Amino acid sequence: MTPRPLRDRHGTKASSTQERLRLAPELVPKPLWRVSAYTLLQGSAAWKRIREAALREAGHRCVVCGAAGPPAGFTDPRLYCHEVWSYDDHTGVATLEGFRMLCCGCNAVVHLGRTSAAGQREQALAHLSRVNGISRAMAESIADRAMRVWQKRSGQDWKVTVSEHMRATYPELDKLEGRIAPASKAGQA
């Protein structure tokens, strides 16, 4: 699997360590909690279609680590349909870019804040280390940096957009377009 290039919307390159990561935390800014395609479409035929398409594209495996069942340290056999978002910190725009299938271990890393609150931080950091072939100290450093970014992003307002490709493929996602998620209401969820 090819590591994804890490750049922000302004082309700023990530550090060489971050650039080669296959897996990293992608913490959702607090104002955007519950603003998602899943929340909007949960249980609907549209969500089932999105999830099935992502499953087919992934070959019914995790797109990051290749697991078809629970990875080491986990027991949940499900694959999760993860929403891929990009965040423009300068304009406060969050864009839904796509969907990808993750095993429970990779999903735990991506949602490390929620995972930590559920008492599974240790398993997630071990998985982050294993998948990326990095030390535990490096995994901790990556997690700490992700938390700092989350804190900064959680203090600003966000406007939600959906990529053209996603809107064309799944017109139901138009309902997310233009939603405003103010930081001042984030604590009132």
- One pLDDT digit (tens) per residue for the chain, 189 residues: 444 444 333 334 444 445 579 999 999 999 999 999 999 999 999 999 999 999 999 999 999 999 998 998 899 999 999 999 999 999 999 999 999 999 999 999 999 999 999 999 999 999 999 999 999 999 999 999 999 999 999 999 999 999 999 999 999 999 999 999 998 765 544
Are 47 and 41 within 8 A, CB to CB?
Answer: yes
Are 170 and 96 within 8 A, CB to CB?
Answer: no
Of 88, 68, 87, give the one whose Cα is nearest residue 78. 68
**Tens of pLDDT, residues 91-127:** 999 999 999 999 999 999 999 999 999 999 999 999 9
- pLDDT number for residue 20: 78
The pTM (predicted TM-score) of the whole model is: 0.85
Give me the amino acid identity at 165: H
- The residue ranges of every structural domain in the chain are 21-177
